[in-house]
């Protein structure tokens, strides 16, 4: 990795932080309450370390094997590691004890599997519930109307702690962008918070990526997950 690539990552992070500050100011919010998580998929351990040295405090990985490979290389040292991708129940065991937060819990079945593995290791695993806010056939996550009963069921498991909600809205094509989805997420988040369930603490509303994080901040997001704007376009042909 060249010095220039390192500088690019640093400049990118500074620019994103300035945009977060601006979006927060417009919304009358404190920018410090908005966490910037680097979505590190397809980026080498060295590039992840460059981002951490430039101020990134949260990393999110999408694939279990990729996370384990980079974990071995100490890629995430100095940052908090989270999981943000599709997770199969048989791979849960590899994550427990390594990640502080599993953001992508889109079913009661997966939540239960996480609770079971965490209990085995005598741990309590923090999770976010993923909502399929665009009701997309191909996407995982609970539908809004399934949310309350799922959270109630999972809140009964002592080795799990629900810390909030996560969503990946559809690719924006209409003029309104993703604002209606983000607003709906905010309502769901507030609605769960007032239920005041045991083991449920609504701390994180994780939404907003490279193309829409300012909109998400306007709607109350306090964790944005950004890949492309930090690392540049991912090269899917030569990983
Ligand atoms: C890749 C990814 C992101 C970041 O996407 P960009 O558009 O590159 O910023 C955010 N969240 C999840 C779950 C991702 O997989």
Question: What is the C-alpha separation between 57 and 79, in angstroms, rounded?
Answer: 5
Task: Give the range among 6-10, 26-30, 142-146, 235-239 with minimum mean pLDDT.
Answer: 235-239
CA of 210, closest atom in ligand 1: 9
Element (H, E) at 116: helix 108-120
Rounded average pLDDT over 90-94 = 98
- Looking at the CA of residue 84, tell me the nearest atom of ligand 1: 13
Which residues of the chain form beta strands (DSSP E)?
A: 35-39, 58-61, 80-83, 101-105, 125-131, 160-167, 200-206, 223-226
* Centroid of ligand 1 to alpha carbon of 192 (angstroms): 25
The mean predicted confidence, pLDDT, of the chain is: 96
pLDDT tens digits, 163-174: 999 999 988 767
40 lines ligand 1 (CB under 6 A): no
Return the closest-CA partner of residue 7 out of 51, 59, 43: 51
Q: What is the pLDDT of residue 177?
A: 87
Rg (CA), the chain: 17
Tell me, in angstroms, the distance from the centre of ligand 1 to residue 61's CA.
9
β-strand pairing of 200-206 with 160-167: parallel
Per-residue pLDDT tens over the stretch 140-159: 999 999 999 999 999 999 99
CA 112 to chain centre: 20
In this structure, how many other beta carbons lie within 10 angstroms of the beta carbon of residue 239?
10
d(CA 189, CA 151): 11
Is 208 within 8 Å of 186 (Cβ atoms)? no
Query: Atom 11 (ligand 1): residue with closest C-alpha?
Result: 225
> 43-81 as b/e, with b when 16 or more CB fall inside 10 Å?
bbbebbbbbbebebebbbbbebebbeebbeeebbeebeb
């Amino acid at each position: 990795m060249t010095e220039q690539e390192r500088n690019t990552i640093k400049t990118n992070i500074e620019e994103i932080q300035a945009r977060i500050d601006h979006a927060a100011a417009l919304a009358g919010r404190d920018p410090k309450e908005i966490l910037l998580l680097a979505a590190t998929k397809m980026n080498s351990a060295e590039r992840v370390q460059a981002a951490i040295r430039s101020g990134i405090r949260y990393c999110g990985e999408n694939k279990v094997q990729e996370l384990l490979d980079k974990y071995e290389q100490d890629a995430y040292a100095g940052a908090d590691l989270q999981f943000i991708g599709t997770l199969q129940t048989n791979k849960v065991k590899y994550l427990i004890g390594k990640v502080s937060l599993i953001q992508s819990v889109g079913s009661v079945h997966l939540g239960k599997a996480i609770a079971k593995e965490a209990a085995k290791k005598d741990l309590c695993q923090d999770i976010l519930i993923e909502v399929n806010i665009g009701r997309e056939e191909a996407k995982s996550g609970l539908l809004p109307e399934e949310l309350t009963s799922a959270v109630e069921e999972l809140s009964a498991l002592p080795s799990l702690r629900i810390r909030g909600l996560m969503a990946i809205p559809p690719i924006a094509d209409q003029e309104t962008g993703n604002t209606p989805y983000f607003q709906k997420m905010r309502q769901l988040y507030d609605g769960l918070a007032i239920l005041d369930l045991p083991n449920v603490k609504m701390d994180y509303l994780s939404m907003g990526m490279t193309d829409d994080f300012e909109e998400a901040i306007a709607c109350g997001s306090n964790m944005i997950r950004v890949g492309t704007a930090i690392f540049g376009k991912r090269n899917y042909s030569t990983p």
